[in-house]
Amino acid sequence: MAEPADPQRRAELARDAMYRHDYATQSLGMVIADIGPGRSTVTMTVRRDMLNGFGMCHGGLVTSLADTAFAFACNSHGEMTVAAGFDAEFVKAAKLGDRLTAEALERSQAGRLGVYDVTVRNQDGETVAYLRGRSYRMRGKSLIGD
């Protein structure tokens, strides 16, 4: 199967190829709510087993949500791309039952490096966290087609 030329279709195929075996994303109850070229939206509801000792959603799990949105966005072009790192800022605690939405947008691509911005908001539209992701595109590894 050849890779489709349509960028939106490529993004959807990349999502399908990634999500199928993404047990972490699945076990955390994340849903890939939207996908497109250079962008994605992922949702997660804060469960009891996501709370830290202060009764707030563990920062690492808020980050996991943002990182997932980043990963789907930076792989949306169909070439295998990994996270080299990211910077996260926590601006508001997330609580039990909060429905969080992470939106990731591509900011730049230069050579094999990319920059992505992710904003995590709660059900009231309040910003919970910002993540700035740095991606590294692997050479010649397609996620789709063969």
Which residues contact its own copies by CB under 8 A?
17-27, 48-55, 57-61, 63-68, 71, 80, 82-93, 107-108, 110-113, 115, 127, 130, 132, 134, 136
Please give the structure tokens belonging to residue 53. 């000792």
User: How many other C-beta atoms are found inside a 10 Å radius of the C-beta of residue 88?
Assistant: 17
Query: What's the CA dihedral at 6, 8, 14, 16 to 10 degrees?
Result: -120
CB nearer its own copies, residue 4 or residue 59: 59
Least distance from its own copies to the Cβ atom of residue 116, Å: 10
Cα dihedral across residues 41, 47, 52, 56: positive or negative = positive
Smallest gap, in angstroms, from Cβ of residue 63 to its own copies?
5
Q: Could you tell me which of 97, 98, 94, 103 has the C-alpha nearest to residue 123? A: 98
Backbone φ, ψ for residue 25 (5° rounding): -60, -40
Q: Which is nearer to its own copies, 3 or 22 (CB)?
A: 22
In this structure, what token pair is assigned to residue 18? Answer: 């990634």
What's the min distance (Å) between Cβ of 78 and its own copies? Answer: 13
Cβ closest to its own copies, residue 31 vs residue 115? 115
CB of 7 to its own copies, least distance (A): 20
Cβ nearer to its own copies, comparing 1 with 111: 111
